[in-house]
Structure 1
Amino acid sequence: MRGSRVLFTTRDDKLGKFCCNKPHHLKFLTDDECWELLQKKVFHKDKCPLDLEELGERIAKKCMGLPLAALVIAGALTGRGKTKSEWEIVHQYVSEHIISSDIMMTKKLVQMSCDSLPVNLKACFLYCGAFPKGSEIPAWKIVRLWIAEGFIRETMQSTVETVAEGYLNELVSKSLLMVTQRTSNGQIKTFRVHDMLHEFCTLEASEENLFKEIKLGVEQSFPRNQVLATFRRLSIDSSVQEFISTNPYGDNIRSFLCFSSRNIVMSPYEFETIPKSFPLLRVLDIESILFELETIPKSPFQKQFFQLYHLRYIAISSDSLKILPKFMEDLWNLQTLIISTQQQTLNIEADICNMPQLRHLHTNASAKLCPSVLKTRNHHSALQTLSIIEPKTFTEEDVFARCQNLKSWVFVGI
């Protein structure tokens, strides 16, 4: 018919650009727009009572700009009445209402996008649910975790880092992840998963045995070792000390992730439990835990730790870590090493340039490499990232002679 128009909608940005050079991108609602939508759905043409306005605005803010979330919450508010106490209950459990109020509709909508993803990309998306709800996830961190987990495969044309960054951009283009910060050149710096999608990720990941969320309070007790045997990855919150005290064991566990929102202090002896309980770990992210080393001033790394030969990713924090021992070289599969310490310097005794898989070393202290490490130039290092390092112990030429793959490096004081 003359003058007719065809409206085509899709969650996939690439598909939209294939149909139209300049597709219209729907933006997330502002907090005010969310609140306006809520009011229309709950009160229709009436105005919101003054005593509910402030609470209603806070509820709208928790929808984080997602129209579907605002509609689901509006249904919950309508069904509960118009008293302040009832609205307080909804405000307290917004994310639960988003999922439970119409779980089939929510899951179906997200499932449509998720099922269309290739197997590896789907695993990358669901894996984001291992991070705490509402947290901003650094792009560099998720990229290196995906690589360590084995979700990314190197191609003839691209490195694993490039492929992983492409995966991240694709998930953003499909509206499955929300960018919160970008770098000066437009690259993704941090992102987050909407609460609705986060709930979907955790549920779907559990069903597919991708990872198990360990959270005391939601479950009255920790899963037994027989249950742990069905999972390969554990995501743990602030209950990590209580969980370790139960002496768990799982030789099938490949990843131990701890994302505590509160300050947890542990002793090196508690740390020893982890390699004993999970001897085949590939990923160990316990950066949110602070290890006190008063009894062992040198290092929390004991003999059993260096028998975790499969480790690819380590993130750890300590109050007085001063030395990265030579035994670190035994971890020949290690790709990413993140060390946070409250000390000003970190003496690296290990020949990190000779570790065949090590590509990224991060420390918040001034790292000093052993002079003997830099004199050996018969092996080219795989290191791509090196920060922060002490320039006084060597010249830049020494570093670049062995680390010819360096893409990012930071010298302290420069």
Structure 2
Amino acid sequence: MDLHLNNLCNSEEMIWQMEIEPMMKQVDSIVGEVAAEINEQMGLENIKQIRLSSKEKEIKTREEPPNALRKDSWSSTKNLMVGFDEYLMQIVDQLTGDSSALEFISIVGMGGIGKSTLATHAYNDPYVVHHFDIRAWVTVSQSYNIRDIMSRILDSMNKSPKGNQLGLDVYQNLKGRRYLIVIDDIWDIKAWDDLKRMFPDDQTGSRIMLTTRIADVAAYASPSGALHQISLLNNDRSWELLRAKVFGDEPCPLDLQEIGKTIAQNCGGLPLSVLVIGGFLSKLEMTQEVWRSVAENVTSFVFSSDDRCSAMLRLSYNYLPQYLKACFLYTGIFPRNHEISVSKLTMMWVAEGFLGQAHGRSLEESAERCVEDLLDRSLILKSQNNSEGKIKAFKIHDVLFDFCIEEAKHEKFLKIIGSPAHLLSTSTVSERRLSIRVDVLFEHSRFNIDSMSTTSCVRSLVSLGRWPPSSDLFLRFKLLRVLHATEVAFSQFPCQVMELLNLRYMALCCNGDIPASITKLWNLQTLIMVPDFDLLGENYLPVEIWVMSHLRYVRCYGANFLDPTAAKFDIYRKHVVLEDLHTLSGLWNFEFTEEMLQRIPNIKNIDVFYDSRCLVENEWSYYQLENLGNLHQLKALKIFVIPDPSCSVNSKFTVHFPASLKTLTLGGVRIPWHELTIIGSLPHLEVLKLKDNACVGTEWEPNEVEFCQLKVLVLESLELEHWRAESDHFPSLQRLIIRWCYSLVEIPSGLGESMTLTTIGLDECEDSVWDSANEIKETQLSYGNDDFQVTNVYSAERHSKRMFFQAFRIMKDAPDDSESSQTDEDE
């Protein structure tokens, strides 16, 4: 059967290339000649009248999409347009606009968000119905047959095929007429390539509207067209939709309103969930007790009460390539509503071996592309961007999370451990991944590790709770590749880990030095060591780490790297180069000697802290920062001085920045403002963060030839009072963030003339700074920049965290952990 269908498709393709396309050209030529002749004889107005007459006499259109779309009663009620009114108005305007060119409108969003519903209402809008000569609706889906689609388009126009040349039939029936074609639920770029040549562009004002879950397909099909990314409903609109589904035009009883709003909120803004729950509630007893039980298990009720939900989500999952399925299921290793760090997750993917190294891409770049693919396919929700505009963290909608967990369980991909008792009862574990989520400490409690003797197939162990540490547990996982247990505080480095020779990713919380025996972990790619905050301080990495050739990422807070020239390596390891190492983070008083830098030629990110007392003793020249200029792959650099009230650093900050830098964060280095020229001249610098007395002085006036590529500027805890600048000084600036600059009088008004600025974020600034920001906003709005924002970037959590670490770094001489990441969210 499949072979027969393939032969039909191939035959259709050959017929198209050999016969139909030439015939179409002849049709175009004939129609053009006839149109020219009619135009001469009757004039343009008569041509319009001919079209209207043709519409009245010949063309009958369907008033609704095909039955396949209308079969779900919950998807055809007027209530479904709650939250979509604005989208609908925009789409109707685009469909009926004055442009005579063939235009494309794409509707993109996750399964169940209402794409087809929105398209249906636009398709059946009375004004749209009157506007077009021909309307046709076709649903493509994942498995499609091009001949079947052609037949359905003809059927939608009440036309019968005249032969085997269906594509030509479609083309001829559309030729010269104003048509609207809706291509619903398209998944594949190839599907669009197969369809698009059937649609003539005769400058008649025709439109093609697509719905898809995949952003790349929409962008490919209509690169210059209108794209509507459908957002989740807010809490108010979710409640409005739920109330309308349950009670129709009747009011909700007062005693159910509060719990009803909670149910709506727990649907996570997904219209599908709201409607399914609404339909379920409408059949139940209207009591607080019943509704409260639903509120506590919303997603469970969604799946149990309507199989269409899981079927709809499964479509998205089944369409993924195999490696992306593994990547998606792996997200279930984190708890519900957890904000998942992209950098952490992608390193785990790499360690698990999910990804092959694509030509011209590193493993990390391939992993980031996978995150973007999941986002484009509407399977994850972006929650944070980093300063470069890339996705830094994401969440998973509750409905998709439940589907992920169920599928992972079905595939024996992942096992979740919720308590010691749960683990004790586990005599056999066939899953290859364990997620331990015990979040309390049990006195005199210990895992029975003997019961875990059959768990040798486990590849990932991720602990997200503070369960009683027992390093002996690790010995039961000889094949472990990923070990993440930063919530479990070990008093010292657990040497039993050295027996896990297959480890590629290790993240632990412990104090003290790492032993030289770490070289046994010769496969290790990612090393993360988080100190226990009760004993925060400096620790040493063994010099032997320089021969661990597979290392890609090292983050060890307060870590002091020893000079490899002091080591007595054997002749074969003396000159090992860490070719794959791209990140060194959390370094402490790092000395950039030539020998060290020669071993990390491809380093891209460096994050280093200096003790102000050491700087008083040694001065900056001791740390040889001028050698940084030799790191030609370095993209992101952070240098932060930990202040000490008992001493003052007077040494001049001397550094040679590499031209490759894109992100630079400085804190406490005390550069005079007029010396920022060396930074402003960096040709590729896009993000600059100046924090905690990074610069000294009260006045700053940059030069016009500086900061040509700068997109993000963060000024935080500086003594700056007067800042004089025009838009020409920052020709590419998009986001300006100012925090805790209590002396600053105002933001330069000249920035209001900027053609690129989109956001000013402020926190704890003088009223005059807010006033100047709002004046800039008024100027931007007068230029038509309606998206310009002035926002309060205050975060109570971030502020309290900052205060906590400020106290700790004075008491314990500790680095500020909140500043330790190269991808901090400063917006």
TM-score (norm. length: structure 2):
0.45
**Equivalent residue number for residue 386 of structure 1:** 584
- Of the structure 1 ranges 346-355 and 330-339, higher mean CA displacement relative to structure 2 is found in 346-355
2:448 is the counterpart of 1:258: no
Work out which of the residue numbers 268, 280, 293 in structure 1 matches 2:479.
Answer: 280
Matched ranges for 1:296-315 at <5 A: 299-302=492-495, 304-315=496-507
Paired with 2:245 and 2:325, the residues of 1 have a C-alpha distance of 34
Q: Which residue of 2 aligns with 1:81?
A: 285
- Answer whether contact 1:140 1:189 (CA < 8 A) is retained: yes
* Deviant stretches of 4+, over 4 Å: 216-221, 239-243, 373-377
Task: State the shift of 1:324 in Å.
Answer: 1.0
Verify the 8 A CA contact 1:353 1:403 in the aligned structure 2: no
Counterpart position of 2:328: 125
Question: Distance in 1 between the 2:591 and 2:549 partners?
Answer: 22
Letter in 2 for 1:11: R
| 1:168 alignment partner in structure 2 | 371
Larger radius of gyration: 2
Matched, 1:232 2:432: yes
Residues 19, 243 of structure 1: alpha-carbon distance in 2 compared, 3 angstrom cutoff: farther
Question: C-alpha distance in 2, partners of 1:285/1:13?
Answer: 33
Residue 221 and residue 200 in structure 1: after superposition, are their counterparts in 2 closer, same or farther (change >3 A)?
Answer: farther
Shift of 1:78: 1.9
1:353 aligns with 2:551: no
Change (3 A) 1:239 1:401: same
Is the Cα contact below 8 Å between 2:549 and 2:576 reproduced in 1?
Answer: no
Q: 1:177 maps to which residue?
A: 380
Structure 1 spans left out of the alignment, 5+ residues: 294-298
Residue of 170, 181, 185 corresponding to 1:6: 181
Q: After TM superposition, give the deviation of residue 107 of structure 1 in Å.
A: 1.7
Q: What are the Cα deviations for residues 165-213 of structure 1, in whole angstroms up to 9, with x where unaligned?
A: 0010010000001111111222011101111111111111122222222
Distance in 2 between residues matched to 1:43 and 1:182, nearest whole Å: 40
Change (3 A) 1:32 1:316: same
Counterparts of 1:220 and 1:384, CA distance in 2: 37
Distance in structure 2 (CA, Å) of the matches to 1:220 and 1:332: 30
- 2:61 corresponding residue in structure 1: none
Contact 1:374–1:398 (Cα < 8 Å) also in 2 = no
| Residue 371 (str. 1) matches residue 371 (str. 2) | no
Superposition deviation, residue 236 in structure 1: 2.1
- What is the CA-CA distance between 1:239 and the residue it aligns to? 7.6
Residue pair 2:462, 2:482 contacting (<8 A) in 1 also:
yes
The C-alpha deviation readout for 1:124-155, integer Å capped at 9, x for no partner, is 01111121111110010111111111101112
Task: Confirm or deny: 8 A CA contact 1:325 1:350 kept in the other structure.
Answer: no
The root-mean-square deviation of aligned C-alpha atoms, in Å, is 2.3
- Give the letter for the 1:40 counterpart: A
Q: 1:152 to 1:394 in 2, by over 3 A?
A: same
Amino acid aligned to 2:503? L
1:49-82 Cα distance to aligned partner (Å, 9 max, x none): 2332222222222222211111122123223232
Task: Give the counterpart letter for 1:203 in structure 2.
Answer: E
Shift in CA distance, 350/251, structure 1 to aligned 2, threshold 3 Å: farther
Moved more, 393-402 or 282-291: 393-402
In structure 1, what is the Cα distance between the partners aligned to 2:262 and 2:593? 53
Letter in 1 for 2:268: M
Q: Could you list the runs of 5+ residues in structure 2 that have no partner in the other structure?
A: 1-133, 135-176, 183-209, 611-639, 641-827
- 1:315 aligned partner, one-letter code: A
Instruction: Decide whether the 8 Å contact of 2:259 with 2:292 is kept in 1.
Output: yes
Displacement after TM superposition at 1:355 (Å): 0.7
The 1-side partners of 2:399 and 2:297 are apart by 12
Structure number with the bigger relative contact order (C-alpha 8 A, sep ≥ 6) is 1
Confirm or deny that 1:337 pairs with 2:527.
yes
In the TM superposition, what whole-angstrom CA distance separates every residue of 1:74-108 from its partner, at most 9, and x where no partner exists? Answer: 12322323222222111111222122222x21221
Q: Which one-letter code corresponds to 2:438 in the other structure?
A: S
The equivalences for 1:13-92 within 5 A come to 13-21=215-223, 22=225, 23-92=227-296
Residue by residue over 1:29-58, the C-alpha shift from the partner in whole angstroms, topping out at 9 and shown as x without a partner, is 111111111111111111222332222222
Aligned residues, how many?
Answer: 393
Matches within 5 A, 1:100-179: 100-102=304-306, 104-179=307-382
CA contact (8 A) 2:482 2:503 kept: yes
Q: What does residue 271 of structure 1 align with?
A: 471
Q: Secondary structure at the match of 2:447?
A: helix
Whichever residue aligns with residue 106 of structure 1, its letter is: C
Asked whether the equivalents of residues 264 and 290 of structure 1 are also in contact (C-alpha less than 8 Å), the reply is no
CA contact (8 A) 1:154 1:163 kept: yes
CA shift, 1:3, in A, is 4.7
Which amino acid in structure 1 is aligned with residue 471 of structure 2? F
Q: 1:325 Cα shift?
A: 1.0
